[in-house]
Amino acid sequence: MKIDVLTLFPEMFAGPLDVSMVRRARDRGLLDLKIHNLRDWTHDRHKTVDDRPFGGGPGMVLKPEPLFEAVEHLTAGLADAHVVLLSPAGRVFSQAIARELALRDHLLLVCGSYVGFDERIREGLADDELSIGDYVLTNGALPAMVLVDVVTRLLPGALGDDASAQDESFSAGCLEYPQYTRPAEFRGWKVPEVLLSGHHAEISRWRAEQAQQRTRRLRPDLLASPAAETRARTEQAQDDL
Judged by the rule CB under 6 A, the positions of this chain that interact with ligand 4FV are 86-88, 112-114, 116, 131-133, 135-137, 139-140, 143
Q: Exposed, middle or buried by CB within 10 Å (0-12, 13-18, 19+), for 193?
A: exposed
Residue number with CB closer to ligand 4FV (131 or 212): 131
Residue number with CB closer to ligand 4FV (90 or 211): 90
In whole angstroms, the minimum distance from the beta carbon of 68 to ligand 4FV comes to: 18
Indicate the helix (H) or strand (E) that contains 83. strand 81-92
Rounded Cα gap, residues 71 and 66, in angstroms: 9
C-alpha radius of gyration, the chain, whole number: 22
Residue number with CB closer to ligand 4FV (121 or 165): 121
Residue number with CB closer to ligand 4FV (49 or 211): 49
Residue number with CB closer to ligand 4FV (68 or 114): 114
Q: What is the dihedral of CA 154, 158, 164, 167, to 10 degrees?
A: 0
In whole angstroms, the minimum distance from the beta carbon of 86 to ligand 4FV comes to: 4
With a CB cutoff of 8 Å and minimum separation 6, the contacts of 118 are: 61, 62, 63, 64
In whole angstroms, the minimum distance from the beta carbon of 120 to ligand 4FV comes to: 16
Q: What phi and psi, each to the nearest 5 degrees, are found at residue 183?
A: -85, 155
In whole angstroms, the minimum distance from the beta carbon of 137 to ligand 4FV comes to: 4
Residue number with CB closer to ligand 4FV (124 or 133): 133
In whole angstroms, the minimum distance from the beta carbon of 53 to ligand 4FV comes to: 13
CA nearest neighbour of 158 among 33, 32, 34, 21:
21
In whole angstroms, the minimum distance from the beta carbon of 19 to ligand 4FV comes to: 23
Across 149-186, b (16+ Cβ under 10 Å) vs e yields: bbbbbbbeebbeeeeebeeebbbbbbbbbeeeeeeeee
